[in-house]
Amino acid sequence: MGVNARWDQIKGDQWTIDGEDMKTGVDHVCPLSTQAIELLEIRKVIERGTGNGWIFPSPQTREAMSTDSVLNCLQRTCGTKYTTHGWRTTFKQWAAEKGDSGDDYLLSELALAHKVGDKTQQAYFRTTLYKKRQKQNQEWADFLFSK
């Protein structure tokens, strides 16, 4: 979930990012793992409506937390060689190594809202494979929270 996530984008077990906030200009619907839903429940208790609609507001401004804040926290916690964009890379590597078919790669591309294939393939491939991405997101969350 991104630092610009807003409460009005969450409906049940999905997060919809408005097309105006996406490079593609198209709404992107993300299935949420049980761990993400638990995090949202914790945020609701902590914020109690004081975050101006942001799920992760800046403690100083109450506006959206900056990506630099997240980067600083990550680097203080894990070391200076880490970046927030590295999480996307880590997810792609995990997906590529997880399965023996192209499905995991395709699902990871769709999860990251990447366009898949050439213009002809995009014209015919209109599914978001939501149910399969939901399963993959849960497996990714389980992997991240495993010991």
As a whole number of angstroms, the distance between CA 21 and CA 64 comes to 14
Condensed to tens digits (0 to 9), the pLDDT of residues 70-93 reads 788 878 888 777 777 778 888 999
Radius of gyration of the chain (CA): 16
Residue 117 near residue 125 (C-beta atoms within 8 A): yes
Residue of 59 and 138 predicted with greater confidence: 138
Condensed to tens digits (0 to 9), the pLDDT of residues 18-65 reads 999 888 888 999 999 999 999 999 988 887 766 688 888 887 887 888
Residue 9 near residue 18 (C-beta atoms within 8 A): yes
Residue 31: C-alpha distances to residues 55, 80, 108, 136 (Å): 17, 31, 13, 9
Mean pLDDT of the chain, nearest integer: 87
**pTM for this model (two decimals):** 0.84
